[in-house]
Every structure is written in structure tokens, then in C-alpha cells.
Chains A and B, each alone.
Chain A
Amino acid sequence: MRHAISLGLTLFGVWLLLSGHYTPLITSLGVVSVILCVYIVLRMETCDHETHPIHLTTRAVMYWPWLAIEIVKANIDVAKRVFSAGPNISPAVYYVKSSQKTELGQVIYANSITLTPGTTTMDIDEGTFVVHTIAKDVGDDLCAGEMDRRVSLLEGRS
């Protein structure tokens, strides 16, 4: 129920921001469409802590800035490798253990890895990720587990 209410409020917020027309008729049509959407989602039984993870909101806000800085650093690193004169890449495949307990946490970790240029998750098998990295030192950084630790913090104890 908590998730349904939050989904409705989010959808209506998005509707208000995207429409820009605030006459009573248009707004009430918006309310009706939001209610219809929430009803359909509830009927599909896809409205839970996985599809709408409101319990992560505050911790996600603390995780994103760190991830953004990591992405910028990784971008500069890959850009250097692209423009370096000689071959400056040493592609490697790593098997990275993930310490997350929920599937949602694993998805966040795997997507964070993929979002950082230079590392791409290729496969997931029971908490072990097959990760392709552009260079050995990038992969060793990943294996140091800083991102893993932060995603587990984000996931929290539930």
C-alpha cells in the first residue's frame, strides 16, 4: 500500500512537471490517468520494494554523488587510453564477488559497474559477477571492493 501511494504521488509529480498545463479540466484528467495507472500496476502485482524501492531513497541520494565522481574519473581514464599513442589497454576478465544480500542490491552493483566506463558486467551467477575490464589496474581497483562496500551500505540491513 505504501508503495502504491508513493507510486501515485511520483506519477502525478512527473505528470505535473511534464504537462505544464494547469487548468482544472486537464489536471483532473491527469489525476484520472494516474489512478488508472496505479490500478493497472496493482493488478499486475508489480508494485513492491523491488520495482519501487522507496526504502533506498535517502541512502541512494548519498550514493549517487560518489558514483558520479567515479564515473567522471573512469571517463578521463578511458579517454586517455583512447588517445594514447601505443597500446595502453590490457583487457582482462575478472570474477568479482558481490556481498549484497538482495537481488535488487546485486542489480544496483552490476549496473554501477557497467555504468563506469572501463568495466562491464557480462554475466551474473549466484553472487559472482563476470566483469570485463579494459585494463588490469582498473580491474584491480574494482576487486579492492570500494564500490561493493558502498552498494551494500546503500542496500542496508533489511
Chain B
Amino acid sequence: MMYLALELLTWLSFLIGGFFLITGGVGLIRFPDFYTRIHAAGVTDTLGAALLLLGMVLQSGDVLTAIKLIMIGFFIFLTTPTATYAIANAAFTGGLKPILHEDEGDGSSKT
């Protein structure tokens, strides 16, 4: 019974996690510009990665392996926003103008 519940939870988190990874990929193609694509990539490295790691933790079967997987998740959550900021800031200071909703094509910032 316990085993079945564990299997079900594992599959559920793998499937939902995989769905969010695909979502990130589709978003990368569908979204119009660099900055909106960053948001799509964010789906992949937050919930997608977290759910896959959760599935692996449930299947690891030994505490040390589980803790290593949790540590991977912890470091992912610390490092991805820093990396994303570095990329976005490089694009922003490099003068790449985001596509904005009201004035498409013009691209001037608004408050």
C-alpha cells in the first residue's frame, strides 16, 4: 500500500514536472522576444526542475541520496535567479529594448 502510494506520487511528480519542462520549451518558441522568453525558461528551472527532483527523492530509497538530491534543488534555487539576472542585466545594459504591449515596434520604456 505504502509502496503503491510512493509509486503514484513519483509518477505524478515526474509527469507534471515533465509537462512544465515542455511548457518552458514551447514558451521559448512561442514568446516574441528575449525578455518574455526568459520567463518561459523560468518555468523550466523552477517548478519543472523541482518536481523532477522531488520524484527522484521519492525513488532514491536511501537518506544520503535523498539529501544530495535536495541539496541540488537548493543550489538550483540559489543560482538560477542570479544567472537569470546576469543575462537579463547584460541584455538591458547592452541596450536591447523589450517589446512592450501598448507601443509595439517602438519599444521605449514606460513607468
Contact = CB atoms under 8 A, between A and B. Distances in A.
B29 to A, nearest CB: 9
Interface of A: 14, 17-18, 20, 71-72, 75, 78-79, 81-83, 89-95, 110-112, 114-123, 130, 132, 134, 136
A90 B47 CA distance: 23
A136 B101 contact: yes
Given A111-B82, A123-B93, A132-B35, A118 B42 contact: yes
Given A78-B27, A123-B89, A117 B43 contact: yes
Contacts, number: 110
By Cβ-Cβ distance, the 3 closest A-B pairs, closest first, are: A90-B101, A117-B42, A114-B81
Contacts of A114: 42, 81, 84-85, 88
A88 to B, nearest CB: 10
Contacts of B32: 89, 91
B52 interface: no
Contact of B88 (A71, A95, A112, A120): A120
B98 A93 contact: yes
